[in-house]
Structure 1
Amino acid sequence: MSIRVQVVQAWPRHQQAVEIVLTADATIADAIAASGFDTTGIEGYAIHGERADAGRTLREGDRVELLRALQADPKQARRRRAMQRKEQG
């Protein structure tokens, strides 16, 4: 038996997705290996937006998302934008 899953890698202004067929007992690690994506800079994985470990078994129709590290702290970025608006107006 086999399952069909999608592996997605999304960066600002660029995204890639590949649909692959794996054995029914395949894990996230298996899907990533089969996708051929470069995993440099990957900090974690998610299935349909929920964090998951590389050893998690996949199900038919799962979307594996490769997560990269944040480039900026969201709280500090908001503060910086607020200060810029305050200085401008």
Structure 2
Amino acid sequence: MTGRLCIFLTAVLVGCALSVVSAQYRARSLFIELERAQTAARQLDVDWAQLQLDQSTLGKNARIEELARRDLGMVPLTAARTQYLTVGAK
């Protein structure tokens, strides 16, 4: 009887040991995945800050006006160049 009990306890012990090894492996895998996700989140934060900086730089009125003058050949509107249309006039 003690021989069977010893074999049973040994099998339970081996099962528990395998369960511990499996749990440690899973915990390490999850930790590595967590580290990768945190690294990706930090990179996304850096990218977001850069995009906000770019948006504020590209949206400034002075830059838009300079591009319109240089690339599109636009000039500021003056009263001498303004044409007014009236309803019913020919």
Q: Is TM-score (shorter-chain normalized) higher than 0.5?
A: no
What TM-score, normalized to structure 1? 0.26
The structure whose residues are more often strand, as a share, is 1
The structure whose residues are more often helix, as a share, is 2
What TM-score, normalized to structure 2? 0.25
